[in-house]
């Protein structure tokens, strides 16, 4: 019988911060693509929608970062 994996949260804050940084970079690159190429209005709208979803993800990552920091300090928010 296999033992369940231990909940290793030791690097969650750093991992989430890296995810925020990567997502911000994706937003920037998408905006540059939209600005520097001959895209249709539909393609530009798709980029805009994807970036809105990316921004929502960043907001959720930031909430998770705060929760993980609180957990580290022994003040779990849940």
Query: pTM of the full predicted structure?
Result: 0.80
For residue 35, the model assigns a pLDDT of 92
* 8-41 pLDDT per residue, tens: 778 999 999 999 999 999 999 999 999 988 999 9
Using an 8 Å Cβ cutoff, are 23 and 57 in contact?
yes
In order of 12, 32, 43, 74, the CA distances from 67 in angstroms are 10, 33, 36, 11
Per the document, the length of the chain is 78
* Percent of the chain whose predicted confidence (pLDDT) is above 90: 73
Mean pLDDT score of the chain, rounded to an integer?
Answer: 90
Ordered DSSP codes for 1-30: -PPPPP---TTHHHHHHHHHHHHHHHHHHH
């Amino acid at each position: 019988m296999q033992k369940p994996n231990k909940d290793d949260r030791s690097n969650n804050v750093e991992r989430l911060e890296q995810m925020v940084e990567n997502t911000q970079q994706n937003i920037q690159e998408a905006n540059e693509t939209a600005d520097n190429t001959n895209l249709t209005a539909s393609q530009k709208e798709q980029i805009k929608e994807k970036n809105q979803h990316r921004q929502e993800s960043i907001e959720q990552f930031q909430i998770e970062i705060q929760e993980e920091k609180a957990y580290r300090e022994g003040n779990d928010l849940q």
